Amino acid sequence: MTLLANFSKLNLECGTDEAGRGCLAGPVTASAVILPDNFSNNLLNDSKLLSEKKREHLKPIIEDEAISFAVSHVFQDDIDSINILNASILAMHKSIDKLKPQPNFIIVDGNRFKPYLTIPHQTIIKGDSKFLSIAAASVLAKTYRDLYMAEIHKEYPMYNWIKNKGYPTKEHREAIKKYGVTKYHRKSFRLLPEQFKLEL
């Protein structure tokens, strides 16, 4: 399926997406990207459908060719405080804040968003596999979040975040069971299944 250039037909339309919503540790990371109208790339797609090698290949292409792009993290303490949905939207808003020039229209992956200033927006389910700017945002959000998780892996290598990126894999949950929680874990999430009680 060929991804579409824009939804609104307005110039300076930005796409935004997040990565890390379902993780047990680390930030939720969002990106916002404004691509030129003539941008084209046959490889670009929803980051979840791309290998790590392909995402890393696309990252500098997106950054070089975008009119503007930005990436923002919202960390685990804020996620615990305001919940993951609000944190995801906040990360998107923080990314849009950094765009220069300001977009005239915002397209958002998924079905939940809060208005940003007075700029019109549209939520699009599976938007990251339909529109180039959302796909680009998904790639940047994923690559920057993975980079962050690789950094904190050095501090707590026993959780193997460099591989599982903080997602609730069996290995990650076994490590939580064995070593307990870190300052990077989201305390509001169910870190272990019911049969394993954890003192927080």
Can you list the domains of the chain with their CATH numbers?
Answer: 13-179 (3.30.420.10)
pTM score: 0.94
State how far the Cα of 28 lies from the Cα of 59, in Å rounded to an integer.
18
State how far the Cα of 77 lies from the Cα of 32, in Å rounded to an integer.
23
Q: What is the pLDDT of residue 197?
A: 55
Return the closest-CA partner of residue 179 out of 191, 195, 167, 193: 191
In tens, the pLDDT along 49-80 reads 999 999 999 999 999 999 999 999 999 999 99
Q: What is the pLDDT of residue 1?
A: 67
State how far the Cα of 73 lies from the Cα of 20, in Å rounded to an integer.
10
Length of the chain: 200
Burial 163-186 (b: 16+ CB within 10 A, else e): ebbbbbeeebbebbeeeebbebbb
Q: What is the rounded end-to-end Cα distance, in angstroms, of the chain?
A: 46
Q: What is the pLDDT of residue 199?
A: 55
Return the structure tokens found at 19: 């990565």
| Residues of the chain where predicted confidence (pLDDT) is lower than 50 | 195
Q: What is the pLDDT of residue 193?
A: 78
Residues 6 or more apart from 92 whose CB is under 8 A from it?
16, 17, 18, 30, 32, 72, 108, 113, 116
